[in-house]
Amino acid sequence: MTTSHTTQAVDTLIHARYVIPVNPKGVVLEHYSAALLDNKIISILPTTEALSLFTATESFELKQHVLMPGLINAHGHAAMSLFRGLADDLPLMEWLNDHIWPAEGEWVSENFVRDGTELAIAEMIRSGTSCFSDMYFFPNIAAKTANKIGIRAQFCCPVLDFPTIWGTGPDDYIEKALKLSDEYKSNSLINIGLGPHAPYTVSDQPLEKIRDIALESNLPIQIHLHETQHEVDDAIIQSGQSPIQRLKKLGLIGPDIPLQCVHMTALSPQDIEILSTSNVQIIHCPESNLKLASGFCEASKLLDSGINVALGTDGAASNNDLDMFGEMRTAALIAKPIAKNAAALDAATALEMATLGGAKALGLDQKTGSIEIGKCADLIAINLDALNSQPSFDPISDIVYSVASNQVSHHWINGKLLLQDGKLLNLDVKNIISKAQQWAAKIKSTDTSITNK
């Protein structure tokens, strides 16, 4: 007797040596495949079964590779990539006041944001980041650039007490954010939110307005918070309360608003108590915190308190790259001396923070962050056929502790292949680099700290 069966047609079949779905945590499936239809993952199954059940328009045999969810860079300032290396080895306020803010005043424009964002996105897609959050001037231009390239992103429109090139003051910034949010409300890749810069640059009244908007229309909010001990000490001297206590009083930290808080160093036991009873999402940027000597976020302790912690690179001006593999490694390594425990923040936890944790922080965990049926196909393949990845006993440990980001060979975002065999398919790398060099030549001509070197 012969059996016959019909096969199901799909767009893409990816056969991989290993599949790491991230949910369930710590699981590694060997000789598994993913089937993609339209922009979604419709099946994850053993390769032998996939070959008999599906026919695909395009198939990929990734024999030495790990297939896993794309990484999520939950905090950054994409266009600042054009300031990469402009002012290094300086403390935060000197770096901001004497270099970054003057350079921004001189150079930030629509063209600067378009070229800088494109540079950042190219670097991120090449290094395995499928989704990023951005907070910078001209978010309209940055969103347009991301949408055109096809990367998933959240743009938190800046809100400050003072005028900048992007607006005249809080009301104007908020109005522009709402207009942009309206423009992108049915876009599947781009989310628009509000980005009050920091507690020391935004006063109570605009923060209350932002709170009301978040409650009414569900817009995400991201804020730099407790970046340094100095910020916390200053706030306590001025108002008798830590910035976290102030935001709780203003109703921004509580059970109803999933406030995305970036940095979160210098936390008192009272602060952690407030956070653990709220819906706060924490975005840990260990490399930026280290480079600016900002302080330490006790990520392991926060995770143990039941708080979601995601990872971000921050801008390339304070990192100096947008490499989430580096960020995972640094997060895992730095957690150990902080907790005085080598078991703190293990590899599976670091990987989860950089994927599903990021998706949760940005409110996108129904769509992305893990390889699960029904989620969007935001996937990367990592080639383990490299000296620094052999032998391989545990692919999760390899990814966090020894893989280099240039081992990312393939990258699908929303089902679309954007990187194949390490080559960006829809971006002109030569042109992007040439534009970055032109910007550097202009910036160099005006920053005396560089010209005097």
Binding residues for Zn ion (CB under 5 A): 314
Min dist CB 443 to Zn ion, Å, is 20
One-letter amino acid at 76 equals G
- Are the C-beta atoms of 224 and 263 separated by less than 8 Å? yes
User: Which residues, at least 6 apart from 449, have a Cβ–Cβ distance to it below 8 Å?
Assistant: 87, 98, 99
The DSSP bridge partners found for residue 153 are 132, 190
CA angle 47–52–54, rounded 5-degree value? 85
Q: Is 225 helix (H, G, I), strand (E, B) or coil?
A: strand
The region that residue 314 occupies, defined by phi over 0 for left and psi between -120 and 50 for alpha, beta otherwise, is left
Min dist CB 290 to Zn ion, Å, is 14
Min dist CB 311 to Zn ion, Å, is 13
Residue nearest to Zn ion (CB): 314
The DSSP bridge partners found for residue 419 are 411, 424
| DSSP 8-state symbol, 70 | P
Min dist CB 283 to Zn ion, Å, is 9
Residue closer to Zn ion, measured from CB, 283 or 345? 283
Min dist CB 411 to Zn ion, Å, is 24
- Are the C-beta atoms of 308 and 261 separated by less than 8 Å? no
Min dist CB 264 to Zn ion, Å, is 12
Residue closer to Zn ion, measured from CB, 287 or 314? 314
| Strand 40-46 with 29-37, pairing | antiparallel
- Are the C-beta atoms of 419 and 409 separated by less than 8 Å? yes
| DSSP 8-state symbol, 11 | E
Residue closer to Zn ion, measured from CB, 195 or 258? 195
Residue closer to Zn ion, measured from CB, 314 or 398? 314
Residue closer to Zn ion, measured from CB, 174 or 283? 283
Min dist CB 224 to Zn ion, Å, is 5
CA 403, CA 326: separation in Å to the nearest integer?
9
Residue closer to Zn ion, measured from CB, 65 or 263? 263
Residue closer to Zn ion, measured from CB, 35 or 309? 309
Tell me the backbone φ, ψ of residue 212, rounded to 5 degrees.
-65, -40
